Amino acid sequence: MEEYRSRIYSQYELLWPDQKTLFDEEEALRWGRYYLRLLKDFLPKDKNSAILELGCGTGRLLYNLKLMGYSEVKGVDLSAEQARIARQTGIDVEQRDVFDVLSENPETFQLIIALDFFEHFSKDECLRLLDACRDALQPGGRLVLQTVNAQSPMGLSCRYADFTHETCVTPGCLRNLMTLCGFKDYQARERAPIPYGMVSFIRFVLWGIIRRLIWMYDMVEVTGTTYPIYTRNFIGSAVKK
């Protein structure tokens, strides 16, 4: 691992001053209210499906999946501190290199999720990561990624918000990479506001207006794009062939 990565990842929690030392159940549930709605179409119907989260952080997603009844959830994170916090949920979380975990579990998982993770790798590493995820998935298993959107007007602010971000792709570029690495049935969606209260409803309406204006600009300049996705992060998902 490069020196700058080792230095930052060994103290990653210090970069976020509001990082707590104990698992925050209330915050995790609030976070999960949004993400479970965003990801629900990608979750397996069988609650005994093996699910792995790469770069699981403090375990918010894993905790919410456990509450939904998924019994075989597992996480891995390079940060010892974040893995320690995540283990407070009682979920199996390893503090290890993801490539080691993936290589040791061929055709094991029905779902692999990595949120805000893909962008931390170089181009060569991104392809290696996709290959490793494919090999660790069962036939027909699904990979779900959330990553920085190079197509968004605000994409650069997210791309450079973290010094360890190495790669930034468009939804179309991610489709090509996943196809190259043995995936099919690619889907992409915005990480947009979802209405579940008054404030979120207002954000939802305003975002609809803003994205329409961005879409019109896109249409005028280059007659549009295959994936009109404009949030600074987006979700990309595909199934192992």
Report how far residue 186's alpha carbon sits from residue 179's, in angstroms, rounded to the nearest whole number.
8
User: With bands split at pLDDT 50, 70 and 90, how would you rate the model's confidence at 223?
Assistant: confident
Q: Whole-prediction pTM value?
A: 0.93
The DSSP output letter for 135 is H
Six-digit token string for 27: 């915050």
- Residue 53, SS3? strand
Six-digit token string for 2: 């490069």
> Looking at residue 196, what is its pLDDT?
87
Whether the CB-CB separation of 168 and 148 falls below 8 Å is answered with yes
**Beta strand residue intervals within 43-199, DSSP E:** 50-54, 72-76, 92-94, 109-115, 137-148, 183-190
Which residues is 236 bridged to in the sheet?
145, 188
Q: What percent of the chain has pLDDT over 90?
A: 85
- The dihedral formed by the CA atoms of 202, 115, 33 and 61, expressed in degrees to the nearest 10: -170
Residue type at 215 in one-letter notation: W
Residue type at 75 in one-letter notation: G
Contacts of 101 (CB under 8 A, 6+ apart): 52, 76, 94
pLDDT at 1 over 70: no
Report how far residue 141's alpha carbon sits from residue 102's, in angstroms, rounded to the nearest whole number.
14
Domains along the chain with CATH numbers: 3-192+229-240 (3.40.50.150)
Q: What percent of the chain has pLDDT over 70?
A: 98
Six-digit token string for 80: 């010892």
Locate tokens 């061929």: which residue?
Answer: 106
